[in-house]
Amino acid sequence: MTTATSPAQTAAKIPAQSPDWAARFSDRMSRVRASEIRELLKLLDQPDILSFAGGIPDPGLFPAARIQAGYDQVLADPELSRQALQYSVSEGYLPLRTWIAERMALAGVDCDEHNILITAGSQQALDLIGKLFLTAGDTVMVARPTYLGALQAFNAYEPAYLDLPERALTDGVDIQALMAGRRPNPLGYFVPDFANPTGISLSLAEREALLDLAQDLDMTLIEDAAYRELRFDGEVSPTLLALDIARSGSIEQARTLFCGTFSKTISPALRIGWVCGPKAVIEKLVLLKQGCDLHVSTVNQMVAHRAVSEDYEQHLSALRNAYGAKAHTLLAALDRHMPPGVTWSRPQGGMFVWITLPDGLDGKLLLERSLAEERVAFVPGEPFFAEVPAANTIRLSYSLPTAAQIEDGVARLAGLIARSQGSRAPAAAS
Ligand SMILES: Cc1ncc(COP(=O)(O)O)c(C=O)c1O
């Protein structure tokens, strides 16, 4: 019996030589790297881990019934469903843009729907803004530490970073001198309200100082307002964009681009964020968005619009109460359990507390020990630094654990830190 050789079998005999992908990737990929911390955080899937790591919304607070009602309404109506399931304009769903513009106006940002672009979460807004403004080597000014996802978005555009320590804006640091020798017109990225990872907010004086600096350096500012709606304590501060408009006279003269999102207030799975800024910038961002993904899912935009159009304030106040209660539990537990030498931020909103460990303790090593010995997870601070990291830092998020877990987890973590300090002493002395 003869056996015929098929073309597939012939092809299979040629030794497979996979392309040298690394040599073919663009230069910009040298700046796009996975973090080693991701590997450690994969362990979080194990069920007995008590986690302060995930900086994500509490799923118990998702307005699932509203979202379901929204999909039902939109899809049951033949007219609406035709629109909801079709291609659409890159700017976004007009009623949603109008709703956002009206809400921005209530907070001192006089604007209309032409000043709003709907993006796939605020993460996409950061990427599009990076693409629009950054030529390789341009400076991005950020806080020290700053949001890791922003660094990931900007890194692909190969910037040089300048990171500002806490209080640099009001402590008389000569930031202009730090810009010496750099390209003009930096891009500034800040999270003025309850920042990720620190939970810290900029005071009014710092916001004004940042706008002074932006004016002096002719800097474009990105205001990332991801957590702004989650204030549970203290007084609301004006947005950078509102302060900017108060100075410059109108949004068209402003230099601040405000990035908002429904990820923390409705659901991150809808992937709906927005940029609010001068039309001249929005128009260019629209072009970039077209080349990227055409537009955000219209059905999701229609559902989000329905979700925010009814009782949104009531929903927000439930979120604020829930996150506020967890934050207070965490802060009280830290006060009770942490050994001397450990300090932490006291957020008035958002989802994060930033812990500074005594010098010589390393957040990454602490995480390894904490997972092995205490089954408690958190995120080491290192990846949140654009320049030189402070290794003795960690981020705790209180959004997911229950009050009892927070209490238990902090007690275990504090015990480990105390033991680590003890075991560090002989090494330091030798
Ligand atoms: C400060 C900050 N900005 C932006 C984002 C991106 O959120 P999204 O793309 O879901 O709007 C996050 C997500 O965690 C964040 O913490």
Structure tokens that stand for 169 in this block: 């804006």
How many CB atoms lie under 10 A from the CB of residue 62?
A: 14
Rounded to the nearest angstrom, the distance between the alpha carbon of 123 and the centre of ligand 1 is 6
Atom index in ligand 1 nearest the CA of residue 56 equals 14
Atom index in ligand 1 nearest the CA of residue 273 equals 11
The DSSP annotation for 254-269 comes to: --EEEEEESTTTT-GG
User: Is 224 touching ligand 1 by the criterion CB < 6 Å?
Assistant: yes
pLDDT in tens, the chain (430 residues): 444 555 555 555 666 788 999 899 998 888 887 766 666 667 667 788 999 998 899 999 999 999 999 999 999 999 999 999 999 999 999 999 999 999 999 999 999 999 999 999 999 999 999 999 999 999 999 999 999 999 999 999 999 999 998 889 998 889 989 999 999 999 999 999 999 999 999 999 999 999 999 999 999 999 999 999 999 999 999 999 999 999 999 999 999 999 999 999 999 999 999 999 999 999 999 999 999 999 999 999 999 999 999 999 999 999 999 999 999 999 999 999 999 999 999 999 999 999 999 999 999 999 999 999 999 999 999 999 999 999 999 999 999 999 999 999 999 999 999 999 876 544 433 3
The DSSP annotation for 222-252 comes to: EEE-TTTT-B-SSPPPPPHHHHHHHHHSSGG
User: Is 149 touching ligand 1 by the criterion CB < 6 Å?
Assistant: yes
User: Is 55 touching ligand 1 by the criterion CB < 6 Å?
Assistant: yes
Residues in the chain: 430
Rounded to the nearest angstrom, the distance between the alpha carbon of 422 and the centre of ligand 1 is 38
Atom index in ligand 1 nearest the CA of residue 123 equals 9
User: Is 350 touching ligand 1 by the criterion CB < 6 Å?
Assistant: no
User: Is 122 touching ligand 1 by the criterion CB < 6 Å?
Assistant: yes
pLDDT of residue 15: 66
Closest CA to 55 of 304, 378, 275: 378
User: Is 268 touching ligand 1 by the criterion CB < 6 Å?
Assistant: yes
Long-range contacts of 99-103 (CB under 8 A, 24+ apart): 99/305, 99/308, 99/309, 100/260, 100/274, 100/276, 101/276
Structure tokens that stand for 325 in this block: 């209660």
Q: What are phi and psi of 55, to 5 degrees?
A: -90, 55
Verdict on whether the full-model pTM lies above 0.85: yes
Rounded to the nearest angstrom, the distance between the alpha carbon of 283 and the centre of ligand 1 is 23
Give buried/exposed letters for 175-203 (b at 16+ CB in 10 A, else e). Answer: beeebeeeeeebbbbbbbbbbbbbbbbbe
